[in-house]
Homo-oligomer: A and B are copies of this chain.
């Protein structure tokens, strides 16, 4: 297993497959074919098979894929078969909403601390957060990252603050950033960034509405 080249779009799709598989399992389904799975998420059966083939042979001819088994394999591929500790920076409205978002925990992510440099916010409790210290100042970052072996961070600060915050997170040792600030972060090689610009998403939607459209736009 392990693989050289995984098409980037395949990564997006794989995580959609996983989500769908979890839903299918909930509904009691034991087995799926590439066609069923593909139809559920809007891709061709061949595409499903090719995507999975990047990582091994998980199916049985004439039967399809065992749902539980495939979920297990996909979690292993994504690394979400173990818990990842995460920190979040920026306790504004969006940041707080994300901090309390249950979906992250469901995927096995654990938020260990929330940071902000606004003195008015420091110490304020974050519902659902284990860290009793509540919102922490950025100065605490390196210690927390080291103590709790944190590798991922969520950036929810205003645009002008995003790059310095990213630099601080990387200096503290993080390996991946989920960025909600509307700027392109620049990071050294070896650090991954996934950016989600909410306004931009709406803008793109707008585009698809104006000029004809491809039924579905991917997650």
List residues of chain A with CB under 8 Å of any chain B CB. Answer: 2-3, 6, 8, 11-12, 14-16, 18-20, 23, 40-42, 77-80, 84, 86, 93-94, 96-98, 100-101, 103-104, 106-107, 109, 151-152, 154, 159, 175-178, 182-187, 189-211, 213-219
Contacts and interface: CB of A to CB of B under 8 A. Distances in A.
Contacts of A16: 184, 197, 200
Contact of A217 (B20, B193, B201): B193
Contacts of A104: 198-199, 202
Number of copies: 2
A196 B184 contact: no
Contacts of A206: 78-80, 84, 152, 176
Given A152-B209, A204-B12, A94 B101 contact: yes
Given A79-B209, A184-B40, A202-B107, A196 B196 contact: yes
